[in-house]
Structures are given as structure tokens and as C-alpha cells.
A and B are shown apart, each in its own frame.
Chain A
Amino acid sequence: MKKLLVLSTALSGFGLAASAQEIAVMSWGGAYATSQIEAYHKPFTAETGIKVVNVDADNPAAPIKAQVEAGNVTIDVVDLEYADAVRLCDEGLLEVLDPAILAPGTDGTAAMDDFLPGAVTDCFVATIVFSTNYAYDSTKFPENPPTTIADFFDTATYPGKRGMRKGAKVNLEMALMADGVPADEVYALLETPEGVERAFAKLDTIKGDMIWWEAGAQPPQLLADGEVVMSTGYNGRFFSAAVTEGKPFVQVFDGQVYEYDGYAIPKGAPNMEAALQFLTYATTTQALADQAKWIAYGPARVSSGPLVGLFMDGKTEMGPNMPTNAANLTNALPSSYEFWVDRDTELNERFNAWLASN
């Protein structure tokens, strides 16, 4: 009996010690998770001795909701899309963060002035700006390549299959922009039934040529397989496929829809203190700039911009590949989370019904 007691005490002590030295971070997998592991996890462990375990999910918002509602939280830090973070925060599923934990910029700017507008909310700190744009296979269009979002919908000039994400978000915005609506009027128009009608009518024109993707890793794969000649997708994934794998993909930033992505802490995270420490570390000017070495997503801090240099291959300039690069922003739309937290139920129902009808 005594032996058992000693043993179990030793074991539980071991368990405690181990958990204090380890945090679990949930993210989106693929090239994106790799960039976080290289830029945040490894240096953080080297500096603090706290191990970081990476956990992949298709969209971390769903498992986090499940964990918090079931009262069994195993994740300490989670990577969320902006709209999901706002929604989960309003539902009380995330810890409220004190902006004072954020480090000031290396140039001395206070943290809240250093982050891009709206990048820090009650429960969320943005790390990157990512974009949904489209890329095409340059071998398919050697002459007169597509340059605008309207070209994506022009199957007469650019014949071939298209890839788009299966969902209403981003697709409706792109359809309206391709139909000639200026970026700053898109959401006002989508608030009206006519606007929604018009967006679906535009999507109708290429419905027969469409292959729908769901996971972020699919668009580069569909392009590489020759299943589609152009596809919408996340710009960082196209970049990785083009640069590290040498695929003949060219990205078009006209009509891109960009938004924030970043970190939050689920309510009741098991290692609160270490999680906060990680959050502070991973959102410093240098860490954000380092991540840009691994994937073409724009850092969410102004002061990180000048520190962004070459891709890890040591020769590709990152600047022109960032969604936030001035040349790429001429016709670009910031995604409106306010619009989507309100309309996602209705428009996704409509989208699913539209998809199922022939």
C-alpha cells in the first residue's frame, strides 16, 4: 500500500512537472503550421524551456467550441480566423486578454498603435494578414494571361475548370467584384437581396466548370494535377507551392479578399501562464517578421514590415508576394467579419441549396 502511494505520488508529481513545461497549440496544418513551428515554437522553447506541441485541425474553431462546452480543454493556445475569434469571444468561449501583455514594437511604438487597425480584440491577437486570391497554371495561358478577377469568371477567353472554396464567404464578394462592383461597395450591396441575387447569378455563369475545394492544401494540388486551370486559394499556399516546389503557378491579387488570422486562448486553458507567455513571445515584432520568412502572409504589426526580408531559400524577395504589398492592394477587399457573423447562416444555407440544385 505504502509503495503504491509513493509510486502514485511520484507519478502525479511527474505529470504536473511535465504539464507545466508543455503547452498545446492548435493550428491549421500544412505550410502554415510549419511556419509557426519554425518562427514561434522552436525559438520559444529554446528561450523558456517550455515545450510546444503542435496540433492540427481543419478549422480549429470547431474543436475548441467542443472542448470548452464539454469542460475538457486540452489546448492552451489556438489559431483562429478573425470572424471565428469574434464569435467565440462573444459566446464566452475564449479568455479575455489584457492588451498590456503585448510587447511594444522594436521601434518603440506602443503595442496597440503598432498593430494594424482592429488586429487586437478582446480575446484575440492577430499575427498575420492572409488573402484569398486566385492562381493559374502559367503553362495553360502562355499568351494573354489572366490579370483581373473578371478573367477568373471569363471561361470564353480562358477555357478550363475553376476551383473555388465550398462556402458562401469570399465567393460572393469575388463574384460581385468580377461583375464590376468596386471593392468598397461590395458589402453594402450584399446586404440587399438584389446584391445576393447578382452574386449568385455571376457564380451561375461558371458553376458548370467548377470544382469545389474544402481544405487549404487542395487548391495547389488541384492545379498541380491539372484538374483545374485556375483556382482561388490562400496566397501563402500558392506561394509555397510555386517557390519551394517549383510549380508554374502565377498569383493574381486583383479582387483578393484579405483578413486577419491569429491567436486566442480557449476558456479554461490548462496552462494559462505559459500560454500567455507564448502569446507575448509569438506576437513580438521579430517573431512576426520571422514567420514571413516561411510563408507569404503579411505580419499584423507595422514595425515588422521593414524586417521582412528574403524567403528561407535565401533568394526570393517576400515583399511583392505579400497580400499587403501596395501593388497588390489596388483592388482588394478587407473581409467584413460584421457582415459574416450576421449573414453566414442565411447565405450558407442559400449557397448549399444553390450548390445542390442543378
Chain B
Amino acid sequence: MADISASDAGLLKTSDGRPLKSALATAQQRSKRRAFLLVLPLLAFVIITFIVPIGQLMHQAIYNDGFSANMPRTTAWFAETPPGTVPDDAAWEALALDLKDAAAARSVGVVGTRVNYEMSGTRSLFTSTARRADDFAPPYRDALLAANEKWDDPNLWGTMRQVSDAYSANFFLAALDMTRDVNGDIVAMPEDRQIYVNLFVKTFLLAALITFTCFVLGFPIAHLLATLPMKWSNLLMILVLLPFWTSLLVRTTSWMVLLQQQGVVNNTLVAAGVIGDESRLQMIYNQTGTIIAMTHILLPFMILPLYSVMRPIPPSYVRAARSLGATSWTAFRRVYLPQTLPGVGAGSLLVFILAVGYYITPALVGGASGQLISNLIAFHMQDSLNWSLASALAALLLGAVLVLYWIYDRLVGIDNLKLG
């Protein structure tokens, strides 16, 4: 065969006289193109709804032109002079004229908000000074100081220099409980304002705990489902799937009804005389509430992959191990459990990643101690409106999850994942 294809005379041809090789290649290319066209809608969808917004989010975390876009002269002065320069006449003039323009364009609030993120108490300095900016006349230093003597503060000028660069890592620093001092050196936040690092740690610990409880509760259920006769296991499966299909909000609020101090569980315990009416258990609006509700809500994500892996495991393997003298524990540990590992891995990864980013349930049942990092991201999106900080926190969360995914891949191997 080899020398036929090599020799010109023996070249294989299709019926219409073209060389078979190129005809095949053309046909293959066509089918590849067709396949690509088929996935094109999905690809476009993923890019538009997923890649682009995540890219924007990452960009927002390092880019905030609130100061530089609205204070062009002052920004230029900062760019021309080295850090630590004492503001000269040109600087005061630039500041005064920029404030005048910003007041006219109604953008001074944006500037003040940007500076206020780094230095508390400066927002009204900008807005109140800008209200008088129309009357500013040289010498500008005196005019500004007459409006408010805080303008002479070297810290303020240091902060303005920092924020005059639209690209800044300051939001990431803030998301890691750090800040910059007057000289631009990175220092830790004052202790009573440190929150995010602890909360990240707590989020990951809670997610790990929830994953573990899901595994402990889900494994026997999945095993039962996989080994029962079909007609019973289908019935049980509905019990797993029904809550899975029910709205998240409904399930969360049902837990509120069950667990609150005047709720079903406490009432039953009091009626049964287990606890006194005065010592009702606090099971919700704290960390316990978050763990209970999230475990229940995420349980199907553990059971379903486990079930799909357990179902095809032939029971004869364990029987063979038993007949060869293994105790039931050894047979389970050495024969059954290893075969379920792809399902354990898939279920754990699913539950963990979902738990890390959970928002609604902890917001509703978490009280003060059961809050996760996503609740603070929501706080900065909705209440403080500091979207750059929210983006930085979200980007850190995404990064941490990707790192964990990578570690998982190295340890277990992503090929060993079976979702169903």
C-alpha cells in the first residue's frame, strides 16, 4: 500500500478524478466547518454573557478614572512632578480650575467619592469647595484655603496623587485589608477595619464544612438509591429531585419557618419538654442557620453525581471481595469506595464551588455571623456603590476558586470527574 500511494501512477482517485487525499481533506474541512457553525451560537453566547462581563469586572477592579477623567489639569501636574513635591502655584491653579470645571459639569461628586474611598471625610471637602468654585480668583492657594483649610493637608495631596492614576491596585489592596500610607507604601489597615481576609478564610472554611456534611449525608442516600430495585429507587429519587426543582427562595424561607425561635422545631422541643420555653435554641440568623440551610439546598448536587457513578458498579465486585475473605468494612474501603471516587470528586467540587459563591441563603438566614464574602460583594454593589472594590473582591474570589480547581486537577485529576 505504501508504495502505491507514493508512486504517481498508483495515486488513489475518486470517481470524479480528484486525488482521494485532497477530496478527503476537503470533505473533512467541510464537516469541521459545519460542526463549528453548530457550536457558534453557544460560543457567541458564552463570550457575550460570560467572558466579556468577567473581563469588564476584572478591568473595573484595577481601573477607576473618577479622578483623572474629571481633573485633567491636576492629573497632568501630578504626572509632571515627582512624588512628594510640595504643591506650587501651578498645582493650586490646576486644582482650582479643575474644581470649577467639575462643578459646572456636575462631576465633582465622582471626584470626591473616588478620593473618599482612600481618605475618609474628603468627599464633602470637594463638593462644598466646588460650590464656591465660581468665585475663585488668583492667588488660588489663598482662595482654596479660604474655602476650606483642609486643602493644605499633605496627606490629601498624597492621596490625590495616588488616585490621579486611573490604573491602580488600591482596590485589590483594600480587598486584602491593606492600604497605602502618605508615602505610597503598602501597610495593613487599622485593626478595627480589617474584615475581608478573615471573611475569605471563613467563607472557604464554611464551604468546606458544608461540602463535608453534604458528603456524609449524601453518600448513604446515593448508595441506597443505586442499590434499591428500580421502582423504589425511582420513588426515592423524586424525593431528592423535588426540592432540587423547588425555588431556592422557597426552600430558604421554609427553613426560616422551621428553625426560628417561635418555629416548628423549637415549638416541638418545648412541647416535648426537651427544652424550657425560656431557653429556646437560636438556630437561625447565625452561622448554624447558614450551614443547615445551605447543606440542604446543595445536597442534590452531591447525591446526583454520586448516584450516577454508583449505579453502574456491579454488586458482584463487593461479593467477590467478601467471598475472598474481606470483612465488610475492608470490602467497602478497598473495593467499593475507590470506584465511587469520580462521583465524590465531582460532587464535592460542585458543592464547594457553589457554596463559596453563595449569596441569597446566607443573606436571609445568616444573621451577623453567618455572612459570606459574597454578601459583602453585594453590599458594595448595592449599598456603598463602590463597584471597583466589589469587582476586586469578586476577582479575588474567582482567582481563589481557579487555584483550588488547579490543585484539585493536580491531586485528583480532572479526568476523574464524572458528573453523570
Contacts and interface: CB of A to CB of B under 8 A. Distances in A.
B32 to A, nearest CB: 37
A181 B105 CA distance: 41
A346 B120 contact: yes
A198 interface: no
Nearest to B190: A350
B117 A212 contact: no
A149 interface: no
Contacts of B368: 166, 207, 210, 212, 355-356
Q: Which 5 A-B pairs have the closest CB atoms?
A: A90-B109, A346-B120, A92-B106, A91-B109, A226-B262
A239 B116 CA distance: 38
Nearest to B263: A225
A193 to B, nearest CB: 10
Interface of B: 105-110, 112-113, 116-117, 120-124, 127, 192-195, 198-199, 202, 260-262, 285, 363, 367-369, 371, 376, 379, 381-386
A93 to B, nearest CB: 8
Contacts, number: 96
A348 B285 CA distance: 20
Contacts of A207: 368
Nearest to B364: A214
Contact of A343 (B120, B202, B379): B120
B386 A345 contact: yes
Between A62, A91, A166, the greatest number of chain B beta carbons within 10 A of the residue's beta carbon is seen for: A91
B122 A89 contact: no
B271 to A, nearest CB: 16
Contacts of A89: 106, 109
Interface in A301-358: 338, 341-346, 348-350, 352-356, 358
Between B116, B123, B199, the greatest number of chain A beta carbons within 10 A of the residue's beta carbon is seen for: B123
A58 B110 contact: no
A51 interface: no
A58 B109 CA distance: 23
B387 to A, nearest CB: 9
A90 B108 contact: yes
A55 B406 CA distance: 44
B195 A58 contact: no
A343 B120 CA distance: 6
B260 A338 contact: no
B193 A353 contact: yes
Contacts of B112: 90
Contacts of A341: 123-124, 127
Nearest to B128: A338
A96 interface: yes
A11 to B, nearest CB: 26
B382 A58 contact: yes
A65 B384 CA distance: 11
B376 A342 contact: no
Given A210-B368, A350-B192, A92 B109 contact: yes
B198 A356 contact: yes
B1 to A, nearest CB: 59
Contacts of B383: 59, 62, 167, 348
Nearest to B112: A90
Nearest to A224: B262
Q: Tell me whether chain A's interface is mostly helix, strand or loop, or mixed.
A: helix
Between B105, B363, B379, B383, the greatest number of chain A beta carbons within 10 A of the residue's beta carbon is seen for: B383
Contacts of B261: 161, 226-227
A356 B199 contact: yes
A342 B116 contact: yes
A354 to B, nearest CB: 7
Contacts of B385: 61-62, 65
A211 interface: yes
A345 B367 contact: no
Interface string A148-176: 00000000000001000011000000000
6 contacts: A59-B383, A214-B363, A225-B262, A226-B262, A345-B120, A346-B193
Given A90-B112, A167-B383, A342 B122 contact: yes
B195 A356 contact: yes
Contacts of A342: 116, 120-124
A65 B387 CA distance: 11
Contacts of A202: none
Contact of A352 (B120, B123, B379): B379
Contacts of A355: 368, 371
B198 to A, nearest CB: 6
B8 to A, nearest CB: 56
Between A96, A167, A227, the greatest number of chain B beta carbons within 10 A of the residue's beta carbon is seen for: A227
Given A350-B192, A354-B192, A345 B116 contact: yes
B293 to A, nearest CB: 16
Given A214-B363, A342-B124, A355-B368, A348 B262 contact: no
A247 interface: no
B29 to A, nearest CB: 37
Contact of A91 (B107, B195, B260, B367): B107
Contacts of B194: 353
Contacts of A59: 382-383
B260 A353 contact: no
A225 B198 CA distance: 33
A226 B280 CA distance: 12
Contacts of A212: 285, 367-368
Contacts of A166: 368
A156 to B, nearest CB: 15
Given A342-B120, A345-B120, A227 B113 contact: no
A227 B262 contact: yes
A307 B372 CA distance: 49
Given A59-B383, A90-B112, 14 more contacts: A90-B108, A91-B109, A92-B105, A92-B107, A210-B368, A211-B367, A227-B262, A343-B121, A346-B193, A348-B384, A355-B371, A356-B202, A356-B371, A358-B369
